[in-house]
Structure 1
Amino acid sequence: MPLDPLAKRLLTMMAAAAPPSRIRPTIEERRQSLAKLMQFARTEANVAATDGTLPGPGGPIAYRLYAPAVDEGETAPGFVFFHGGGMVAGSIETHDRVAAALAEATGCRLVSVEYRLAPEHKFPAAIEDAIAATEFVAKNAASLGIDAARLIVGGDSAGATLAAVVCQYALDNAAPDILAQCLICPVLDFEETSPSREAFAEDPLIDQATLEADLADYLPEGTDPADARISPLRASRVKGLPAAIIHTAEFDPVRDEGNAYASKLLAAGVIVEHTCHDGMVHNFHAMGAILPQAKLVLMQIGEQVRRIAER
């Protein structure tokens, strides 16, 4: 299917706003660029939000809890959410609207996590925070109004990397208990260059130069990118992982690795609901001001999570 006309318009706008040279952006420029992009996530959600902190290995971790309307005293499924940004950008603020929309669509009490970013905090700091946050939510579910037996872990882009790693950690350690994982445009493989990474290497939203720069800022020198904590697709053990909801986009550089992970999990007997969205681009789910498909995919995710949580 051809590139969606509205998605093409978005890419044209992004290309026009990009600097004329391919010089590697500074960390501050990378963070400002993502913050501007996330302003297209114009969506309203009827949820209450409260901020808090939880203990982490590097100090307190900030989080934002989104609570959809439920009957007083009733617990809801929980959703631990990790924002995207290549492990170097993004925050609970940049992804506030997306997180709120996911909470409303899924009916979950959603905990959006402010994990540590590189290059100030290199690998595995973000992973350590993600694991700590998930364990905290699992252990303190009752006080958060969450049903511990219905815990979902998810994220978008690099946040989906963290979600996949947390689920693999939980499998290897038999805890915490995770019902399902929700991976949106996940970044899952830095070991090999896939056809989609080659085809869309100049993508204005997430080009190969940015992916490589983010990885260089994230990893200490000498770290093997084939490590499953960096490239979850390379994990040797996936049988027994939580049910997976995976959404990829046809015109996304990381499309193939997301599709391959869905196939790998299915082959291992994991329950998988996977959609590759025709004509769409990376991060399309957060572009509601331009792309009608953003609202549709959030509604679809909501239906999928509710169905799994009600089993």
Structure 2
Amino acid sequence: MPALHPDVQALLAMLRAADAQPLETLPPEAARRSYLAGRRALQPPPDPVAQIRDLAAPSPAGPVPLRLYRGAGTAPDVALPCLVYLHGGGWVLGNIDSHDWVCRRLANLMQACVISVDYRLAPEHPFPAAVEDAAAALSFVAERAEGLGVDPGRLAVGGDSAGGNLAAVLALMGRDGTVPQTAMQVLLYPSVDLGLTSEGFERITAGQPLTAGTMRYFVDHYAPEPGDRTDWRASPARAASLAGTAPALVLTCGHDPLCEEARLYAHRLEREGVPVTALHLSDQTHGILTMSRLVRTSATVLVFVAEAVRERWSLGAEGGRGRPS
């Protein structure tokens, strides 16, 4: 087992002292309250930004709530590049508020627009509801770009954990023309295979914020029908081909049951001709980006993410989006 960063050690000690019930032992509503309270306790005060707007994207199932952030110091009359962000939480937990700090920080670091998507959650809305909402949100942003103050030629899609799963799916859909194609996919410790068979699920069974048992709880709620778990829209690693998808940034953490499957996904993207930036943090754990009050590495990672996305957008602005031919 790789060594743990001292900040993660302190985080785990705090969680043990709190004697909190594992999320998988709670009904979804109670787990949501616990998760949101944890995010509030573990994140610093929110950064000020230039603008926040609450919006809604139309979809056949009803409006999808969105929140738009423009980075501090950006001009109000300039069309900004935009990251469509999908929050984590196992498709069961989380919302716009749980990831507000992350989206504000990214908007400021990128000097761009971030649009956070409040997709429907399981078990009330199982697969493929979250995928449908994510697709509706991305399509809305591209179609209404001028009114939103967004440059449609410089879009990216990203998310953490379950949100990384949805971002990878949108990248595949963009390649196939189902939704607008983006300049980049930002996959932050993503879930990419609902089969839960990688080595991490044998290795991480207790003592971490996310364990094999927690992931099984999430998957059982999100994709209760076993056949759905092999659908590439639920498990993008099972797509027949990843070639032609947007250039990728893939973040993995050593103390995370999703680590091995995400690293394999990054290697496969690379083999199939997709430009990949892979960042592996062997001493970190799942969920660190929403634990920045205690885990200092989180802020550093967000700087790295922001610079990688800015670079990709600059390549697009210079003529072409840097996609494989």
Fold-level match, TM-score > 0.5?
yes
1:119-138, aligned counterparts within 5 Å?
A: 119-138=123-142
Query: 126, 132, 143: which one pairs with 2:147?
Result: 143
Matched with 1:64 is 67
Deviation by residue 1:179-206 (Cα, 9 ceiling, x = unmatched)? 1010111011122421122111214311
1:50-89, aligned counterparts within 5 Å?
A: 50-68=53-71, 69-89=73-93
Deviation (angstroms), 1:66: 0.3
Identity %: 35
Deviation by residue 1:240-291 (Cα, 9 ceiling, x = unmatched)? 0001011111111111111111100000110111100131000112211101
TM-score, length of structure 2 as denominator length: 0.91
Deviation (angstroms), 1:8: 1.4
Q: Which amino acid aligns with 2:8?
A: A
TM-score, length of structure 1 as denominator length: 0.95
Matched with 1:24 is 25
Distance change in 2, residues 1:24/1:261 (3 Å):
same
Matched with 2:11 is 10
1:288-303, aligned counterparts within 5 Å?
A: 288-303=292-307
Distance change in 2, residues 1:72/1:99 (3 Å):
closer
Partners of 1:101 and 1:136 lie apart in 2 by 23
Matched with 1:37 is 38
Deviation (angstroms), 1:19: 5.1
Distance change in 2, residues 1:200/1:144 (3 Å):
same
Q: How many residues align?
A: 311
1:162-181, aligned counterparts within 5 Å?
A: 162-173=166-177, 175-181=179-185
Give the root-mean-square deviation of aligned CA atoms: 1.7
Partners of 1:204 and 1:308 lie apart in 2 by 33
Distance change in 2, residues 1:203/1:128 (3 Å):
farther
Q: Which amino acid aligns with 1:194?
A: S
Contact 1:41 / 1:289 at 8 angstroms: preserved in 2?
yes
Deviation (angstroms), 1:83: 0.5
Partners of 2:22 and 2:122 lie apart in 1 by 24
Partners of 1:264 and 1:33 lie apart in 2 by 36
Distance change in 2, residues 1:33/1:72 (3 Å):
closer
Contact 2:188 / 2:252 at 8 angstroms: preserved in 1?
yes
**Which has the higher mean CA deviation after the structures are superposed, 292-301 or 62-71?**
62-71
Distance change in 2, residues 1:143/1:217 (3 Å):
same
